[in-house]
């Protein structure tokens, strides 16, 4: 009986010691202000804020006039979609918003332990708090800081029409010449003919190219109808390859009359920093002319410029919270101890506009648009595990440890 009482007493003493070692009620968390001061009894962490990275893709279509464009109607009866002048056309291809996270330099907090042990903490790679007393390792999905940049995929070379026909651009003609012949009486000029090569005119070249197009179409039609050459016999796969090649040649020569369009993409990156006020914001990313292209600054040398605007409109207003620092219910005011501070994000509607038309709208939670609130200090006890969203610093969950 004495042994049993001794074991029970010893067990209570061990539990009491364990409870003392894991007593976190002597912890307190407070905002540090602009300066961090430590005496070796503090751990510091920060809350994140959000920025919006903006990616804009602008498509540039360069239209090149074909060398035989003025003869498209005459020799091919084509009067639509013929490019008659070289020009560029710029359009917005896509706009993408992405939320990224950075340290909020105004939201550093100090975890201080007067006596006892620190809670078990997990941090992101740059100091934001991921969890407290969690029994699981939390993945760090904090975004690295991005650098705004501009990437332009330029054309390598200017498009040139090099294949203007299959025949030599020369004609053999008989030219009448004269030579002087000495006679007994007086010198005489005698007429004679000589074959010479003369360059063909542009219209003659266009007529020859149009005749080649019609010839290609006839050959393609025969193959499509299954009429094979009398000498060469081929299978169906070979006929399909031949038809595809003929279509490539046809398109190549049609471009001599109709012109050619080449597409390129210019990609621009920007960063928008929402403020911590519950008000509408807007920024001008740049100016776009459909004929002259994109510029970061408005200039008179660009024609018909219109701004690309990003607007931020708050959707929900988070109730303002006043965090009391002193307890005045007692005769002598005492400092109030708080646990970990976290964010309640606000939500904004983010839109992109061009020529007063909305081309993209997206709802995004923004950390600094909300409020910073502390947890009760009792949750720093190891009975509870606490997890936070690394992107916004919002409270993810409070769990009872088994």
Q: What is the pLDDT along the chain (402 residues), one digit of tens a residue?
A: 545 544 444 444 434 434 444 455 578 898 887 777 777 778 899 999 999 999 999 999 999 999 999 999 998 999 888 999 999 999 999 999 999 999 998 999 999 887 777 888 999 888 899 999 887 776 665 444 444 444 555 444 556 677 777 677 666 777 777 777 777 777 777 777 777 777 878 888 888 989 999 999 988 888 887 755 555 555 677 888 888 899 998 899 899 999 999 999 999 999 999 998 888 999 999 999 998 899 988 877 766 899 999 999 999 888 888 888 888 887 888 888 899 999 999 999 999 999 989 999 999 999 999 999 999 988 888 889 999 999 999 999 999 987
Eight-state DSSP code of residue 139: P
In the prediction, which pLDDT does 358 show?
Answer: 94
In a domain, 31, yes or no: yes
C-beta separation of 38 from 256 below 8 A: no
Q: Of 386, 362, 390, nearest to 104 (Cα)?
A: 390
DSSP state at residue 128: B
Using CA atoms, how far residue 338 sits from 24, 48, 326, in Å, is 12, 19, 11
* C-alpha to C-alpha distance for 337 and 28, rounded to whole angstroms: 5
The answer to whether residue 97 sits within a structural domain is yes
Q: How many domains does the chain divide into?
A: 1
Q: Let me know if 272 is exposed, middle or buried by CB neighbors in 10 A (0-12, 13-18, 19+).
A: middle
The CA distance from 137 to 150, in Å, is 38
Q: Are 10 and 72 in contact (CB under 8 A)?
A: no
Structure tokens, 189? 């000029």
Q: pTM, whole model, 2 decimals?
A: 0.73
Distance in angstroms (rounded) separating the CA atoms of residues 252 and 162:
10
Is 147 contained in some domain? yes
Please give the C-alpha separations between residue 401 and each of 133, 363, 379, in angstroms, as whole numbers.
9, 35, 11
- 220 falls within a domain: no
Domain assignment present for residue 140? The answer is: yes
CA distance 270 to 54: 5
Closest CA to 345 of 4, 10, 47, 35: 47
Structure token pair of residue 367: 């950390």
C-alpha distances in Å from residue 325, one per residue of 29, 297, 322, 328, 378 = 11, 48, 9, 10, 17
How far apart, in Å, are the Cα atoms of 190 and each of 39, 175, 179, 185? 119, 14, 5, 15
Half-sphere exposure of 212 (CA within 13 A, CB side): 21
Count of residues for the chain? 402
Residue 118 included in any domain? yes
Residue with tokens 């409070």: 398
Return d(Cα 58, Cα 273) in angstroms, integer. Answer: 23
Containing 312, the helix (H) or strand (E) segment is strand 306-314
Q: Is residue 219 part of a domain?
A: no
Helix (H) or strand (E) holding 49: strand 42-64
Element (H, E) at 388: strand 384-388
User: Is 92 within 8 Å of 354 (Cβ atoms)?
Assistant: yes
Domain extent, residue 45, equals: 2-158+263-400
Give the span between the Cα atoms of 393 and 372, in whole angstroms. 9
Tell whether 258 is covered by a domain.
no
């Amino acid at each position: 009986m004495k042994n049993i009482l001794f074991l029970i007493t010893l067990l209570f003493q061990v539990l009491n010691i364990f409870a003392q070692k894991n007593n976190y009620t002597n912890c307190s968390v407070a905002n540090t202000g602009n300066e961090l001061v430590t005496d070796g009894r503090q751990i510091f962490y920060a809350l994140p804020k959000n920025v919006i990275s903006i990616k804009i893709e602008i498509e540039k279509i360069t239209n090149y006039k074909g060398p035989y464009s003025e003869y498209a109607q005459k020799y091919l009866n084509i009067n639509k979609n013929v490019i008659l002048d070289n020009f560029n056309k710029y359009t917005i291809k896509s706009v993408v918003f992405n939320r990224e996270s950075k340290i909020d330099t105004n939201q550093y907090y100090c975890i201080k332990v007067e006596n006892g042990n620190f809670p078990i903490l997990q941090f992101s790679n740059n100091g934001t708090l991921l969890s407290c007393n969690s029994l699981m390792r939390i993945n760090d999905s904090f975004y690295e800081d991005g650098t705004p940049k501009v990437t332009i995929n330029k054309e390598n070379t200017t498009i040139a029409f090099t294949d203007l026909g299959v025949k030599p651009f020369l004609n053999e003609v008989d030219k009448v010449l004269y030579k002087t012949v000495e006679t007994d009486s007086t010198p005489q000029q005698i007429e004679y003919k000589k074959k010479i090569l003369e360059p063909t005119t542009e219209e003659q070249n266009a007529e020859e190219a149009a005749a080649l197009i019609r010839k290609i179409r006839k050959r393609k039609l025969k193959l499509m109808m299954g009429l094979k050459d009398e000498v060469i016999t081929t299978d169906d796969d070979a006929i399909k390859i031949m038809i595809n090649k003929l279509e490539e040649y046809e398109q190549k020569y049609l471009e001599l009359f109709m012109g050619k369009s080449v597409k390129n993409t210019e990609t621009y990156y920007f960063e928008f920093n929402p403020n911590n006020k519950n008000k509408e914001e807007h920024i001008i990313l740049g100016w776009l002319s459909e004929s002259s292209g994109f510029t970061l600054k408005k200039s008179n040398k660009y024609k018909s410029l219109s701004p690309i605007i990003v607007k931020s409109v708050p959707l929900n207003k988070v109730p303002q919270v006043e965090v009391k620092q002193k307890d005045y219910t007692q005769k002598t005011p005492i400092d109030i101890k708080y646990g970990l501070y976290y964010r309640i994000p606000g939500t904004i509607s983010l839109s992109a506009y061009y020529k007063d038309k909305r081309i993209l709208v997206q709802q995004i939670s923004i950390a600094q648009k909300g409020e910073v609130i502390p947890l009760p200090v009792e949750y720093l006890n190891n009975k509870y595990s606490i997890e936070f969203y690394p992107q916004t610093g919002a409270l993810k969950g409070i769990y009872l440890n088994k």
